[in-house]
Amino acid sequence: MKIIYFGDIVGKSGRVAVLNSLDEIRARHAPDMLIANGENAAHGFGITEKICKEFFEAGIDVIVTGNHAWDQREIVGYIEREPRLLRPNNYPKLTPGSGSVIAETKSGKRVLVIQVMGRLFMEPLDDPFASVESALYNHRLGASVDAIFVDIHAEATSEKTAMGVHLDGRVSMVVGSHSHIPTADARVLPGGTAYQTDAGMCGDYNSVIGMKKEAAVGRFIRKIPGDKLEPAEGEATVCAIVVETDDATGLAKSCQPLRMGGGLIATL
| β-strands 194-196, 187-188 pairing | antiparallel
Q: Of the candidates 75, 91, 82, 87, which has an alpha carbon nearest to the alpha carbon of residue 114? A: 87
Q: Of the candidates 123, 125, 153, which has an alpha carbon nearest to the alpha carbon of residue 5? A: 153
Q: What three-state secondary structure class fits 52?
A: helix
- Kindly name the residue from 29, 43, 68, 139 that is annotated as catalytic: 68
Burial 209-244, CB ≥16 within 10 A → b, else e: bbbbeeebeeeeeeeeeeeebbbbeeebbbbbbbbb
Q: Which amino acid is at 51?
A: I
* Pairwise CA distance, residues 134 & 36, whole Å: 23
Q: Of the candidates 217, 162, 161, 158, which has an alpha carbon nearest to the alpha carbon of residue 186? A: 161
* Pairwise CA distance, residues 132 & 134, whole Å: 5
68 catalytic? Reply is yes
Q: Are 149 and 112 in contact (CB under 8 A)?
A: yes
Give the residue numbers annotated as catalytic, written as ranges: 68
